[in-house]
Amino acid sequence: MLEKKIARCNFSWNGPSPLIYPFLPLYIGEKVIVSCSCDDWSYGSSLDNGDRFGIFPNNAVISFNESIPSISNEAIEIIEELTEILKEWWHTVKNTYYHQARMECQDEVLVYMEDLMVMRKKILSGNVPIEELKEMRSELARKIDLGNQWLGLDMLIRDDMGKKMDSDATSVVQVYRAHVDAASRILNDSKPSDMPGVTAFSLLVHALSATVDSKAECEFTLSLYDTSEKKFISENFVFYWSFSTGNLTNRNSKVLFNDLGSKEYPSSLLSMEAHRLLLCIRVARIAPIEQISSTLKKHADLGPPQLWPRQPYAAAVLDLSNVIGNSHSATEHIISLNRDDSLEQLIARASTARTNNSLKTVNGELSAFGRAQLMISTEVLLGSLIQIKKMHPQIFSSNPPFELRRLSFADIISAVLKYQKIGIIDDIRNDLYVTLLQGDLHGGKGSDKNIEVRVTVVDTNGIVENSIVMITADGIRCSTTYQSLVFYHDDKPKWNEAIKVQIPENIDQNIHLRITFHHKKAFDKTKQEKGPFALAFARIMEGATLIRDGLHELLVYKIETGRFDDTDTSYTRLPATRGELKASQSQLRPQTTTFIYGEKNFLTIETVTCSTTLTHNKSLLDILRWKQNRSNLKERLEEISKPKFLAVGEELVKFIPNFCDALFEILDHYSEYDSLIFDNLITLIQLVNEERYKNFRPVLDKYVENFHSTVAFSYVLNYQ
């Protein structure tokens, strides 16, 4: 009985053989038909080339099942068409290339072939739902028709569903009309689009290896920096290097920076110079504070590793202009780590550098402290995240990369794609990003010490929330405390560390950031840590309203040694910022028995909130939560209808589905507000028609398409 098998490895026999039968050379992946077997050998032929017969060892081949997993008949039809088209295209490409070195649209055809192979592989997996299968058939028909035109092959006629029509079973008139429609469709597809080439893309970064001259474990942090906005625009990704092995602790240190748009994609050399992205690399050494005395160093007790602080070790930047603009294939980079300059200094120099080559002098090929390098690969993936997952399933199949968000809502198509389901935002997000910028703690006992900042999220009852999020190669960690870098003997540190805080869902009370300052010194097992010597705080949510975005200069309150209690939140009655202190107009020095205001000290932070359910605007918040704010509902509706509300429209467009749902719910309960609700809808329509909010029009269109409230329909129609 004939049996089909596949080669698991290459096989060839070059030496003399006493056998009368020839050997059959095999290449890994080649299919063979086994005619007969005896002991450890088989006789058969190649499935692709039936003229080749011979013997081969049994252990060189394995059985395989050609049956397609349980998929629909429509999927089988698409697979058969894909297989037929790919064979025909490849045969045509080879024949054309045989006669001429270069053919017209060669690159486009090869890209289409790769897309079709990815599509075929995905359908064969059997995991494609019916709706997506219909979309894939439509996309398949478009690419096949255009590819056939490029290669000079016959035009295929199709019905409205994208299926091939049987010309023998179709009238002459229908065939003629189908040909006209197909020719028109191909002509339109081949015209250059008026839309920008790239509206959304992601950047895949894979840390491959690192060379570090350190006797302690090192922490690597990757993030994106925008030189035109002069700020970090992405979350942080953290992975680790082990001193004991000399390698990265996790080989799957892959990250996907999402929500990048046309603003970050260089459309010309001028835009490349004006608007550049930098990949910033910060390296921290996790080690105990060293003893000053060389004698003490020899006999020092290092203490438990969990008490070792993070200390600055090296930094580097990679200009992504050439990476994004020139190549979309995976590219490897060897980046020299600079131990002489801070990350801020490297960013400043890179921002003024004209070309990527000048960054060699920025990072330094060899620092004074020895060679330290990081090897990474980068790849630009075009399209939204949903499109990327469809087109590149192999990236997400096994060991997928960690997906990083932007430190704001995406500016183009990605923002619109957040609205996926009918009337519901599928992507619930309640993130607060706090950047520790700099502080001044000079004077007093904190002077000239190694200062560590610890950040926690605390509610009104003094309970610490598990809200600090860190995305690492080993997984997403949620903790109660973030511990900053420790700068050796610096009482005016500049951290520039971004912290992700996940605001608890359905929270019904005020929460704040508690920031404590601690001395870090060489470990002494006879002495326990005495607690913080100072404290600052910021009100994250007050009365269900979020902290405003931007810079905040926090007041610093000194604490007597050993007097701090974790459950004590009495400091929240004091002013938190310089602005609150001025607004209080109090002549008295703000303090309690425990917390004493340090006039010369301060801490500067920057906050950015990305929330689909929370807002900075009180009027909008009261409408979204109208059931808890019935008393002032009319007043809030009137405020949103006023022209001045258009100035803060950015908050409203984020909540289009929720806002519309709330309005129509109010209409069901308070019909007397129908005119105000109509005015609110007009305000919303005016907003999405503004140029700066044009990307949110599809969100409103989608909501209208799926709108099903017959009661609301009657009210709205009455005002036409």
Contact 231, 277 (CB under 8 A): no
Question: Which amino acid is located at 63 in the chain?
Answer: S
Distances (CA, A) of 87 to 91, 94, 108, 117: 6, 11, 17, 11
Contact 421, 624 (CB under 8 A): no
Give pLDDT tens digits for 592-635.
Answer: 878 999 888 999 999 998 877 777 788 888 888 888 888 888 88
Dist CA 146 CA 126 (whole Å)? 27
pLDDT at 557: 94
- At residue 565, what are phi and psi to the nearest 5 degrees? -120, 125
Identify the DSSP state of 308: P
Q: Is the pLDDT score of 355 beyond 60? A: no
Give pLDDT tens digits for 30-73.
Answer: 888 888 888 888 888 887 776 778 888 888 888 876 554 556 77
Distances (CA, A) of 594 to 560, 568, 591: 7, 10, 8
Stronger pLDDT, 213 or 526, i.e. the higher one: 213
Structure tokens at 47: 């499935």
Say what the pTM is.
Answer: 0.70
Give pLDDT tens digits for 441-491.
Answer: 887 654 557 899 999 999 988 899 999 999 999 999 999 999 999 998 888
Interacting residues of 159 by C-beta distance below 8 A, sequence separation 6+ = 165, 178
Bridge partners of 261?
Answer: 200
Q: Is the pLDDT score of 415 beyond 50? A: no
pLDDT at 223: 96
Q: Which is nearest to 603 in space by CA: 548, 536, 700?
A: 536
Average pLDDT over residues 378-398: 86
pLDDT at 78: 84
pLDDT interval class at 138 (50, 70, 90): confident
Stronger pLDDT, 380 or 420, i.e. the higher one: 380
CA 407 to chain centre: 10
Contact 280, 235 (CB under 8 A): no
Mean pLDDT for the chain?
80
Burial of 111 (0-12, 13-18, 19+ CB in 10 A): middle
Q: Is the pLDDT score of 131 beyond 60? A: yes
Stronger pLDDT, 148 or 160, i.e. the higher one: 148
Pick from 312-326, 385-399, 404-418: least confident: 404-418
Contact 207, 220 (CB under 8 A): yes
pLDDT interval class at 362 (50, 70, 90): low
Dist CA 549 CA 572 (whole Å)? 20
Pick from 262-276, 641-655, 700-714: least confident: 262-276
Identify the DSSP state of 444: G
Pick from 19-33, 255-269, 348-362, 521-535: least confident: 348-362
Contact 352, 389 (CB under 8 A): no
What does the CA dihedral 82, 85, 91, 95 come to, rounded to 10 degrees?
-140
pLDDT at 75: 81
Give pLDDT tens digits for 521-571.
Answer: 876 665 667 889 999 999 998 877 889 888 999 999 999 877 888 889 999
Q: Is the pLDDT score of 359 beyond 70? A: no
Dist CA 572 CA 557 (whole Å)? 11
Bridge partners of 439?
Answer: 603
Dist CA 491 CA 422 (whole Å)? 54
What is the SS3 string spanning 22-70?
CECCECCCCEEEEEEEECCEEEEEECCCCCCEEEEEHHHEEECCCCCCC
pLDDT at 525: 61
Helices (runs of H) and strands (runs of E) counted in the chain: 20, 27
283's enclosing H/E stretch is: strand 277-286
Pick from 143-157, 214-228, 257-271, 489-503: least confident: 257-271
Dist CA 276 CA 628 (whole Å)? 46
Q: Is the pLDDT score of 418 beyond 70? A: no
Q: Which is nearest to 637 in space by CA: 661, 673, 613?
A: 673
Average pLDDT over residues 410-421: 41
Average pLDDT over residues 427-445: 83
Gap between the terminal Cα atoms of the chain:
77
pLDDT at 205: 96
Beta carbons within 10 angstroms of residue 494's beta carbon: 16
Q: Is the pLDDT score of 204 beyond 50? A: yes
